[in-house]
Amino acid sequence: MNETIVKLDVEKIRSQFPILHQEVYGKPLIYFDNGATAQKPKSVIDAISKYYTKDNANIHRGVHHLSQIATEQYEDARKIIQKAINAPTSEQVLFTKGTTDGINLVAFSFGQMLKAGDEIIISEMEHHSNIVPWQMLCERQGCILKVIPINEKGELKMDVFESYLSDKTKLVAVTHISNTLGTINPVQEIIEKAHALGAKVLIDGAQSIQHTKVDVQELDCDFFAFSGHKVFGPTGVGILYGKKDILDAMPPYQGGGDMIAKVTFAKTTYNELPYKFEAGTPNIAGGICLGTAFEYLNGLDMDAIHDHEQELLAYAESELKKIDGVRLIGTAENKTSVVSFVVEGTHPFDVGTLLDKQGIAVRTGHHCTQPLMDIFKIPGTIRASFAFYNSKEEIDVFIKALQRSVNMLL
Amino acid sequence: MTLQEKEQEIIDEFAIYDDWMDKYEYIIELGKELPLIDEGLKTDNRLIEGCQSRVWLHTDFDGENMQFSADSDAIITKGIIALLIRVFNNESPKNIASSSLRFIDEIGLHEHLSPTRSNGLASMIRTMKMEALKKV
Ligand SMILES: Cc1ncc(COP(=O)(O)O)c(C=O)c1O
């Protein structure tokens, strides 16, 4: 055992998140909906305010002072994020609106290079945003979608995945971590196996970016998409990382300002990376403050965070199992700090409503993974997803409130 | 009792609860008590699909007044439906169509009617009113 394990100072961290210190319905807020969106540290909130108070101007276009400052900050943020995910160059770090936008960019643009009969592999545990863009692509181009099934624990059936791989496979698009089940997928192995047959791999990093240290070069993925709002940054901004040769070969996604080199009515030529994929005025404040969010994370000990979150997960699971009728949905060996469950004889919506009235924010429903609910034959789950600012004491309150809710409903 | 008087009666009943959980305890009791609909009537054409919970609604009209019966798979939704049915049943289509259902706001259940809540209640009220309008 490592004796120098540093315990995370949860109280200190909590003090940096103003939103956590309030009451709802007269009860202290317990925020367990971090899978949907994470709260923002004060440094990010202050950076947003500072940007609009002092620095706001359009970027890449102005000769004036403010425009230069805003452009510099925006491009600095890109570099901070490049370092955080260990991308080889900052031009491979594209600003998007979020995970969904990044996946749609690839589905459209990379998709244009595919032809009828080409195959795309996804999995049963994908978020709708990593299903529907591929279905749309298949309709447009006549490609074929193959779906990796899961076992009863909520793990990918890797043997089936391997049987799907062939020289027809052009892209594998899978989630790093399931937002509904918490399953951490063996993406490294998926990438290696796909590459062996010449297929490219897109990783949906919407959930993993909050919980793990992501190194796109070590993963060797071809695309990695995530949202700023799930990594303690602002909403409406995200990142798509891509390998340079692939991004260079891909046609642009949207047309407009910033993405062009020269426009004439006879012929328009496109700008270089990353601007080729960044048409129009972007979410400037969002991009800059996503950089601030990563700077905040840089100051934290990711190993200590990992240990703390795993402790919360183990504790929540063991306490939940003590409640009669609770069935955990998603029991993978390798899991992040998400507990999805149903309680026999109750509807998730009722449980969620009663928890809300006791100050506890959880998510109920299908979590944008309807096919997954069909597989487990349930209408939805109650999901508590923990971030590093959550505590065991909060889980105690949650368990008591859950027991009270279930008693009322049965 | 007029529709407005029935609403006032519900508002008065809820006035004694100052705690949210007590209020919901009562709604849940209402949801548990009532067999709101004939099981045979829970067919797909009577189903109002919400994202979170589902609602079945059946409408009857005797030439003068309307009768509703309904059910939901979520018990809180069902309890609120019980209140709606209490207010709307045996009322004329005109009364129903013009009702503002102010009691919902007054007892603090407004959130359940927002379309984003997607429990089927907002669509159910819309359907009830539309059925009434057809008879006006
Ligand atoms: C696994 C996964 N993929 C994609 C998304 C979509 O993210 P966004 O809505 O921020 O684009 C989410 C968000 O819930 C998610 O959890």
Domain boundaries, chain B: 3-135
The C-alpha atoms of residue A283 and residue A77 are separated, in whole angstroms, by 12
- For an interface test with B, which of A342, A351, A353, A373 has the most B Cβ atoms less than 10 Å from its Cβ? A353
- Is A11 found in the same domain as A115? no
| pLDDT score recorded for residue A1 | 45
- Kindly give the pairing relationship between strand A119-123 and strand A144-148: parallel
- Is A233 found in the same domain as A335? no
- Among A179, A208, A212, A231, the mutation site with the greatest number of ligand 1 atoms within 8 A of its Cβ is A179
- Is A275 found in the same domain as A325? no
Give the residue from A169, A171, A175 showing the smallest Cα distance to A187: A175
Chain A positions with Cβ closer than 8 Å to B: 25-26, 346-350, 353-354, 357-358, 364-366, 379-380, 404, 408-409
Residue A385 lies in a domain: yes
| pLDDT score recorded for residue B45 | 85
Q: Does ipTM come in above 0.85?
A: yes
Average pLDDT over residues A360-367: 92
Q: What is the DSSP string of A125-154?
A: T--GGGTHHHHHHHHHH--EEEEE-B-TTS
Confidence of residue B2 (pLDDT cuts 50, 70, 90): very high
Residue A155 has pLDDT above 90, yes or no: yes
A368 is catalytic: yes
Indicate the helix (H) or strand (E) that contains A159.
helix A158-164
Average pLDDT over residues A319-337: 97
> How many CB contacts within 8 angstroms connect chain A with chain B?
43
- Is A225 found in the same domain as A361? no
Q: What is the pLDDT of residues B31-52, one digit of tens each?
A: 998 766 888 888 888 888 766 7
In the block, which residue shows the tokens 């797909």?
B44
- For an interface test with A, which of B18, B20, B55, B109 has the most A Cβ atoms less than 10 Å from its Cβ? B20
Give the residue from B72, B39, A235 showing the smallest Cα distance to B85: B72
Contact between chains at B53 and A25 (C-beta distance less than 8 A) = no
Confidence of residue B54 (pLDDT cuts 50, 70, 90): confident
**Whole-number percent of chain B with pLDDT over 90:** 58
The C-alpha atoms of residue B38 and residue B41 are separated, in whole angstroms, by 5
Residue A53 lies in a domain: yes
- Is A249 found in the same domain as A226? yes
Structure tokens at A232: 């303690």
- Is A15 found in the same domain as A130? no
Domain boundary among A298, A329, A353: A298
Residue A313 has pLDDT above 90, yes or no: yes
- Is A218 found in the same domain as A70? yes
Q: Which CATH architecture describes the domain B3-135?
A: Alpha-Beta Complex (3.90)
The parent domain of residue A157 ranges over 46-298
List B12, B25, B51, B64, catalytic entry:
B51
* Residue A407 C-alpha from the chain's centroid: 35
- Is A210 found in the same domain as A317? no
Counting from 1 in the atom list of ligand 1, the atom nearest the Cα of A36 is 14
Closest partner residue to A358 (CB to CB) among B21, B74, B75 is B21
Burial, B17: exposed, middle or buried (Cβ in 10 Å; 0-12, 13-18, 19+)?
A: middle
Domain boundary among A298, A326, A354: A298
| pLDDT score recorded for residue A132 | 98
Average pLDDT over residues B71-97: 93
Question: What mean pLDDT value characterizes chain B?
Answer: 89
- Kindly give the pairing relationship between strand A268-270 and strand A260-263: antiparallel
| pLDDT score recorded for residue B112 | 79
- Is A56 found in the same domain as A20? no
Residue A37 lies in a domain: no
**From ligand 1's centre to the CA of A112, what distance in Å?**
23
Average pLDDT over residues A313-323: 98
Residue A38 lies in a domain: no
What sections of chain B are H helices per DSSP?
Answer: 3-15, 20-33, 75-88, 93-98, 102-106, 121-135
Q: Which residues are near ligand 1 (CB < 6 Å)?
A: A 98-100, 127, 129-130, 175, 179, 204, 206-207, 227, 368
| pLDDT score recorded for residue B115 | 65
- Is A133 found in the same domain as A24? no
Residue A292 lies in a domain: yes
Q: How many domains does chain A have?
A: 2
The per-type count for chain A, helices as H runs and strands as E runs, is 15, 17
Give the residue from A221, A282, A229 showing the smallest Cα distance to A254: A282
Give the residue from A235, A216, A225, A165 showing the smallest Cα distance to A195: A165
Residue A375 has pLDDT above 60, yes or no: yes
Residue A39 lies in a domain: no
- Kindly give the pairing relationship between strand A381-385 and strand A119-123: unpaired
- Is A8 found in the same domain as A89? no
- Is A273 found in the same domain as A173? yes
Query: Which region holds residue B90: left if phi is over 0, alpha if psi is between -120 and 50, else beta?
Result: left
The enclosing domain of A282 has a CATH number of: 3.40.640.10
Domain boundary among A259, A278, A298: A298
Residue A40 lies in a domain: no
